[in-house]
Amino acid sequence: MDNTALHTVEAQIRDQAAAYCESGKVPGYVAGVHHAGQQTVVAHGVANAATGAPMLDDTGFLFGSVTKVLTTTLVLRQVDRGLLDLDTPVVTYLPGFALDSPGAADKILVRHLISHTNGIDADLYFPDAKGRDALKTYVDGLASGCGTLFEPGEQLSYSNGGMIVAGRLLEVVTGLPFPDLLAREIYASVGMTHSSTSAEQAILRSTAVGHFLDPETMSARPTNMFTLPDTWGPAGGTPIGTVADLLAFGRTHLAGGVSPSGTRVLSAESTALMRQVSYDMGTPNTPPLGLGWVLYPFGDTTVLAMSGASPGGVSILCVVPEHDLVFAAYGNQPGAIMLHDQLLRWLLSEHLGVPIPRLVTEPERDVDLTPYVGTYRSNQLRVDVSVVDGQLEERTTYEPADGSQERIFTEFAGGMTSGPPQRYVPIRPGLFAPAGYPLETFDGYLRLLLVSYHDIRDGQARFRNAGGRLTRRA
């Protein structure tokens, strides 16, 4: 990429970030692009609305679920060393691993943990523990509080629990606490010089905090909870770093596992394995999954991606191998995912010249809605689906298991424990779009807003899929 193209990218990010921030949608935003040997990072707005601290090029932020790609890389490093085998049952390494369904954990292989095909029903399980035994506490608690959504390998459901079990597995086979392993084998090897594994480390440098929209003042207020508990570290609860650090990690995957400094972080074979399709649900709202990476198809171009929610913020990391490009960004309000999507689509279509085909065409009329009506559940989540005025209406309710988890989830969600009813229009049998959105909204990253239903038996759908997460008919 020549300097003229770099300046165009920089100007586009600056203009779009400024417009988005100044419209009041997000207090601060930072984004970076590495393409063909050139790199730029742009920041705008404030990192903390309470203090007025500016968002800077090197401001740190919570990675959120982008951490899952780092955790998967750590697992594959141990596979490269012969310490782990992807097709070995997890209980071989973690004999105490169990779920509340007898024998269910015994069927889960190591690869199921990092391909989101494990079926562990623990997506909103938030045990509050700190320190060296946090992940052990999490895994021990699964036996009495969490069951399964499906048989391992039978379906795909985005899995925080799978990644946390993988983190505990890493601790056992390496003898190192997960934060130490992450710092030593990813941060140090990749050259992520400004990344940390805890709030205590991050407070020593410029770090952004998340925000939520205050319904009374309609202004952004800082979150009351900076990070999720230590138990969520491997799924994205605690790691913190900068856009430049994420770009370095993305470049490592572009280069077949070799970091920008020349360090071999992962074998070429394992790096390639992470990009291969592990499971494909065959529905537009859930792209195929590799190991760690979500494989977004934009026509013939595949974008390796992962976004990451944190309390009041959202990050994203995208790698485009065919075009030698990495895009990373963070906004400190949940709605920043819209700006992530806008910039990714601009980079693909305008900067790289990648055609972005329509993912969803005109809605189909006369779709029978009765197979989808009912109540669907997963860990502490209930979704009631009915038909209203020829559309599906969903009412989602959080049902906390105890006071501690209610407190954590409520803070993570900015005070909400249930959402307003959402109407969906049928696109085709089994696929629905939220009412009121132009259909081109779903051509990019925001295809995750679509909802699908699967495995119809005796005239009733068995699973509902929203954002890649399954709920099962009650």
* Cα dist from 42 to 31, 246, 251, 340, 429, whole Å: 5, 14, 18, 13, 43
Catalytic annotation present for 65: yes
What average pLDDT is seen over the chain? 95
Cα angle: 320, vertex 322, 326; to 5 degrees: 25
**CATH classification (class only), 370-473:** mainly beta
Question: Which tens digits make up the pLDDT trace of 456-472?
Answer: 999 999 999 999 999 99
225 — pLDDT class (breaks 50, 70, 90): very high
Is there a contact between 236 and 64 (Cβ–Cβ < 8 Å)?
A: yes
pLDDT of residue 60: 98
Domain boundaries, the chain: 1-357, 370-473
* Cα dist from 217 to 16, 54, 212, 220, whole Å: 25, 22, 11, 8
Question: Under CATH, which architecture does the 1-357 domain have?
Answer: 3-Layer(aba) Sandwich (3.40)
Q: Is the per-residue pLDDT at 419 higher than 80?
A: no
Do 1-357 and 370-473 fold alike per CATH? no
- Which one, of 180, 156, 154, 155, lies nearest residue 167 by Cα? 180
Tell me the whole-structure pTM to 2 decimals.
Answer: 0.97
CA dihedral of 80, 82, 85, 90, whole degrees rounded to 10:
-120
Strand ranges, E, within 247-373: 294-298, 301-310, 313-320, 325-331
31 — pLDDT class (breaks 50, 70, 90): very high
pLDDT of residue 417: 67
pLDDT of residue 4: 85
pLDDT of residue 217: 79
pLDDT of residue 416: 67
- Which is catalytic among the residues 65, 195, 196, 378? 65
Distance (Å, rounded) from C-alpha 468 to C-alpha 472?
Answer: 13
Question: Which tens digits make up the pLDDT trace of 120-167?
Answer: 999 999 999 999 999 999 999 999 989 999 999 999 999 999 999 999
* Size (the chain), residues: 474
The 8 Å CB, 24+ separation contacts for 402-407 are 404/126, 404/127, 404/128, 405/124, 405/125, 405/126, 405/127, 405/128, 405/380
Distance (Å, rounded) from C-alpha 397 to C-alpha 380?
Answer: 9
